[in-house]
Structure 1
């Protein structure tokens, strides 16, 4: 995917979240079931008395922070929460949250490290974001950036939204794809396999770019992480009414 189209899609999603922060956050309150398995895999990093450093990229309304603090009682995580939409962020009373506003993808496209200054972390999470990263090259670049923030023995967990496996969401994507084709014109031909669009609730003008990652693409990301000394330790499916809406990749630094 060329950089100009990638920037267009990034701004489309940024505009969507700015416009719909309140209604989106209202539908994103409960923790995902898959997070429990990730927390179990984190093991001693979340043991009572520990104070792990946790990076949450695309933290949204900080619900992962609240989940992890509740799940790991007796543990005092220090959260490095990163997102481009502060309108989504909500109060995290009693939690040690170091919030950073950063348009991570734009920074990556400019050749800059969007996480400069964030220390090595015991747990790095990227949930509900990979599907907003346009182009396989940029997704690989993001995976490398996350790997570089892992402490020895640290855990990296990413989710990949499999919305096209759900007939209801696939139908919605089909309708939104037609609207996006009108918006993008000839540039729509430069989209990659798995690239789609979705609307939002009853807002006829809402449009967001979403990518459905094939298993072969997750294989490629896992292989890139392995090259950097971060080994896949688990891959599983969870979440949604079907229990199959997210595919998780969990890796550990050697």
Structure 2
């Protein structure tokens, strides 16, 4: 489905990509298996270990490659620009939205990310649907166990026990209603595609594609 979106929306074989929350570069690896030719790729992530892994996997490329370590949440709180300069054919935000605390910051991130699109370009966003699945429900811990008060949280904010060492992970569930609110009123945007995919039942993530109209 994503391959079709890129083909139909961009109608071109050579694309530039901004990958926000790029991790180990999995999206880029996926793109290189498709028919698209990449002219430029910029990946941003907070995790230096994942960026190093991405850099090792992306040697000997024939396109412009740049990986940047940035604390995305801190930049949003400070209202700082992402600092990526130019504009791109594709902006991707995979596996990041559930890490962003507060509706205001999630809206801020999507709105700014969209400004980095070229006219006709597309922004692809995934929203992790963990709250719908029992195996994740079993990992939930109370806000108090995570040293928070419930009054400090928004609806659908959760804390998950993670790994074997007692690690605690914040995650926000973005359902379809909030997705509509987040993507509404982004200037010059149009939602062109939504779908569920991934996991055993193909519903682990909810994907939204927005296209820049001008």
* 1:210–1:46 Cα change, 3 Å: farther
- Residue 229 in 1 paired to residue 185 in 2? no
Superposed displacement of residue 70, structure 1: 1.4
* Contact kept? 1:69, 1:77, Cα under 8 Å: no
Match of 2:203 among 227, 233, 244: 244
In structure 2, the residue matched to 1:63 is: 26
Alignment partner, residue 47 of structure 2 = 85
Tell me the TM-score normalised to structure 1 length: 0.76
Deviation of residue 46 (structure 1)?
Answer: 7.4
Give the CA deviation at 1:104.
Answer: 1.4
Residue-pair matches, total: 206
Partners of 1:171 and 1:201 lie apart in 2 by: 13
The answer for unaligned runs of 5 or more in structure 1 is 1-36
1:42 equivalent in structure 2: 6
Q: Establish whether residue 129 from structure 1 lines up as the match of residue 109 from structure 2.
A: no
Higher strand proportion: 2
Asked if structure 2 preserves the Cα contact closer than 8 Å seen for 1:56 and 1:125, the reply is: yes
CA RMSD of aligned residues (A): 1.6
Which residue of 1 is the match for residue 38 of structure 2? Answer: 76
TM-score, normalized by length of structure 2? 0.90
Q: 1:211 aligns with which of 172, 196, 206?
A: 172
Could you say which structure has the higher helix fraction? 1
Which structure 2 segments of 5+ residues have no match? Answer: none
Q: Describe the superposition over 1:193-248 as per-residue Cα deviations: whole angstroms up to 9, x where unpaired.
A: 11111222322x211100111211101112132xx111000111011122101001
2:87 is the alignment partner of 1:120: yes
Alpha-carbon separation, structure 2, partners of 1:106 and 1:79: 23
Q: Is the 8 A contact 2:16 2:38 kept in 1?
A: no
State the alpha-carbon separation in 1 of the partners of residues 134 and 114 from structure 2: 34
